[in-house]
Amino acid sequence: MKKLWNILGAYKALLLCSVFLAALSVVLQLYVPILFGRAIDSIIETGNVNFTMLQKYLSQVLLLVIISGIATWIMNMINNRMTYRVVRDIRSKAIARVQTLPLSYLDAHSSGDIVSRIIADVDQLSDGLLLGFTQLFTGVMTIIMTLIFMFSQSINITLLVILLTPISFLVAKFIASRSYHMFQKQASVRGEETALVEEMVGNAKVVKAFSYEEKAAKRFDAINKDLQKYSQHALFYSSLTNPSTRFVNSVIYAGVTLLGAFTILSGHLTVGGLSALLNYANQYMKPFNDISSVVTELQNALACANRVFALIEEPEEKDALKLYLDKTDDGTIDTTAMDAVASETLGEVSIEHVNFQYVPETPLITDFNLHVKPGTRIAIVGPTGCGKTTMINLLMRFYDADSGDIKIDGESIYAMDRHELRQKFGMVLQDTWLMHGTVRENIAIGAPEATDAEIIRAAKEAHSYEFIKRLPHGLDTFLTEDSLSQGQKQLLCITRVMLTLPPMLILDEATSSIDTRTEVLIQSAFDKLMQGRTSFIVAHRLSTIRNADIILVMKDGHIIEQGNHDTLMQQGGFYKTLYNAQFEKQMNA
């Protein structure tokens, strides 16, 4: 609640206006029982009715009810605006934090669960906030003003109501503490279910290809049963709150009636006065009843808010300069070197004593050292899990090394802004990604100011222009997830790099989804692009990296061999074994 109030602070004017209107509405509503009491007292006995006063009081009641209704309507409009602005701000904070979260967090949490927090949980939060604002402002004002009006009628009866009130609180707290725990579990399981649905729907072809439908349904049923169980328990406990508090309130009402009757007999209270007090007793208890009746939504909202704020408060990627200072021995940094970051990139790369592990106590990269001269083509090969892609992740600072340093042109990458560092590299990965947009927008994602002529030039060099011309609207064709084949998607990703012409290249299985004929053509385009550019190439097909200047053979996080293709073949080591094994498979095929 405190975190929600911090965000709400940006709308103080709306908040104060809502509180004022709530107070106005409550005061007017609470003055109505007094007028009714006076109207009742105007009816003395049969044939003795003061119709003039009766008409006066009833006219005043009508006027106050109309004004109170208008104030309540305006207050609800303001509460709506506040609620959805707060929800908008929370969603903006959540998506902004996702953009700055380290990849280690995103890898450890399913995308479905993150989406569920930003969309479904915030929706639940908005429902609870809307109810909360409406009940909170009017409720607090009703309680305070009712006590004031009751004291003006009878001190003894008011004290009785105040003394019995804690019973209602204790009953509600006892039940609510149990239901909140269930709502937390409900929100968590709902995130799991969203993640599973997204996974199964997004990979429907794989599910069908491996006849996984039945197992997927069983997994869904298990999670769905858990969701049903926690939802049912949460609703059951929270549903007890309202009838329990209403029972206590009825006891209080009976107490007011009994004490009021004796007070009338003693001559210290009129019938009209008792009527007003009974009305106030109902008004006083109404906020507690209202809150208990929506306790389900409120607790669900708070449980969802907990998940959303956990995402918003997740530590973001460390600041570049701070991280660099943490890594230096003496805690200092040559600030003049920082000014050189934006200078022209030559492409000299030094990796010095780098150690890294994804999982604590499970080392992957240990004491890795490498020096690359500008314009060199470096191929990284080795068995699955040896650390090839991990080295790319460290170069791009998708992950930060546990120790050691990586330098580009003599400057530590940990002293650079991540955005500026990544602009130095052009990446083509095995996994392709296209956004929902036109072909032009997808190609120009790294160069939004590019002209059509430049885009077409890049497409021709990447050999994607042939299929782009065949699309219904050419560059203006709108793409979705299934618009293109995997190979065509990869060609578009290659076109992006051809357009931006970055100082350095990273090719991680860049032609894995492309047919052999097109691969030969693209390889020639890559050869042209890599001239004068430092390039890191990760490839399983060793025939594609024969022309590399340096081939690094990795195993268990270490470089076990390095040299060009001819040198490594002459050495007759692990590289030759890998190469001959692939060549033999190709010959057999």
In this predicted model, what pLDDT tens digit does every residue of 272-292 receive, in sequence order? Answer: 778 878 877 777 777 776 666
Q: Tell me if 58 is assigned to some domain.
A: yes
The mean per-residue pLDDT over the stretch 452-480 comes to 88
Spatial contact of 65 and 32, defined as CB atoms under 8 Å apart: yes
Domain closes at, from 501, 519, 550 = 501
CB-hemisphere CA count at 13 Å for 437? 11
Q: Are residues 303 and 431 in the same domain?
A: no
State the residue for tokens 């004017």: 13
At 152, the pLDDT band (50, 70, 90 cuts) reads confident
Residue 320 is predicted with a pLDDT of 55
- Token pair listed for 428: 């083509």
Q: Helix, strand, or coil here: 377?
A: strand
Spatial contact of 433 and 486, defined as CB atoms under 8 Å apart: no
Q: Tell me if 55 is assigned to some domain.
A: yes
> What Rg, from alpha-carbon coordinates, does the chain have?
36
More confidently predicted of 170 and 329: 170
Distance CA 554, CA 387 (A): 7
Spatial contact of 196 and 112, defined as CB atoms under 8 Å apart: yes
Q: Tell me if 530 is assigned to some domain.
A: no
Spatial contact of 406 and 323, defined as CB atoms under 8 Å apart: no
The mean per-residue pLDDT over the stretch 413-429 comes to 85
Q: Are residues 439 and 303 in the same domain?
A: no
Using one digit for the tens of pLDDT, what is the confidence trace for 191-216?
888 888 888 887 777 787 778 888 88
Q: What are the helix (H) ranges across 266-361?
A: 271-293, 295-312, 320-327, 335-338
Residue 520 is predicted with a pLDDT of 74
Angle at 134 between CA 131 and CA 138, to 5 degrees: 140
Helices 452-461 and 516-530 pack at an angle, to 10 degrees, of: 120
CATH number where 483 lies: 3.40.50.300
Q: Are residues 184 and 45 in the same domain?
A: yes
By residue count, the chain amounts to 589
- Taking the model in full, what pTM does it have? 0.61
Query: Domain range spanning residue 177?
Result: 2-312
- Looking at the 3D structure of the chain, how many domains does it have? 2
Q: Are residues 300 and 446 in the same domain?
A: no
Asked whether the predicted pLDDT for residue 464 surpasses 90, the reply is no
At 66, the pLDDT band (50, 70, 90 cuts) reads very high
Residue 393 is predicted with a pLDDT of 87
Residues 6+ apart with CB under 8 A from 497: 426, 427, 428, 462, 505, 529
Asked whether the predicted pLDDT for residue 367 surpasses 50, the reply is yes
Q: Are residues 113 and 252 in the same domain?
A: yes
Residue 62 is predicted with a pLDDT of 92
Spatial contact of 249 and 288, defined as CB atoms under 8 Å apart: yes
Asked whether the predicted pLDDT for residue 326 surpasses 60, the reply is no
Spatial contact of 238 and 181, defined as CB atoms under 8 Å apart: no
Dihedral over Cα of 119, 125, 128, 132: its sign: negative
Spatial contact of 539 and 545, defined as CB atoms under 8 Å apart: yes
Q: Are residues 297 and 437 in the same domain?
A: no
Spatial contact of 446 and 501, defined as CB atoms under 8 Å apart: no
State the residue for tokens 């609870």: 128
Distance CA 107, CA 426 (A): 22
Q: How many angstroms separate the Cα of 25 from the Cα of each of 32, 64, 139, 278, 285? A: 11, 9, 11, 20, 17
Pairing of strands 550-555, 558-563: antiparallel
Q: Tell me if 317 is assigned to some domain.
A: no
Distance CA 435, CA 437 (A): 6
> Tell me, what DSSP letter sits at residue 196?
H
Q: Tell me if 524 is assigned to some domain.
A: no
Spatial contact of 399 and 356, defined as CB atoms under 8 Å apart: yes
**How far out from the chain centre does Cα 364 lie?**
30
Q: Tell me if 494 is assigned to some domain.
A: yes
Q: Are residues 32 and 161 in the same domain?
A: yes
Distance CA 536, CA 504 (A): 8
Distance CA 269, CA 204 (A): 76
Q: Helix, strand, or coil here: 552?
A: strand
Q: Tell me if 195 is assigned to some domain.
A: yes
Using one digit for the tens of pLDDT, what is the confidence trace for 76-100?
899 888 888 888 888 999 998 888 8
Asked whether the predicted pLDDT for residue 342 surpasses 50, the reply is no
Q: Are residues 214 and 90 in the same domain?
A: yes
The residue type at 159 = L
CATH number where 197 lies: 1.20.1560.10
Q: Helix, strand, or coil here: 457?
A: helix
The residues facing 371 across adjacent strands are 350
HEC letters along 319-345:
CHHHHHHHHCCCCCCCHHHHCCCCCCC
Asked whether the predicted pLDDT for residue 165 surpasses 70, the reply is yes
Distance CA 30, CA 26 (A): 6
Q: Which helix (H) or strand (E) holds 157?
A: helix 155-202
More confidently predicted of 331 and 517: 517
What is the side-by-side strand order in the sheet with 534-538?
A: 425-428, 504-508, 534-538, 377-381, 550-555, 558-563
Domain closes at, from 278, 312, 346 = 312
Domain closes at, from 286, 312, 338 = 312
Percent of the chain surpassing pLDDT 90: 6
Dihedral over Cα of 478, 484, 488, 490: its sign: positive
Residue 238 Ramachandran class (φ > 0 left, ψ -120 to 50 alpha, else beta): alpha
Residue 578 is predicted with a pLDDT of 82
Q: Helix, strand, or coil here: 229?
A: helix
What is the side-by-side strand order in the sheet with 349-356?
A: 365-372, 349-356, 403-408, 411-412
Q: Tell me if 511 is assigned to some domain.
A: no
Mean pLDDT of the chain: 81
Q: What are the helix (H) ranges across 9-49?
A: 12-41
Asked whether the predicted pLDDT for residue 354 surpasses 80, the reply is yes
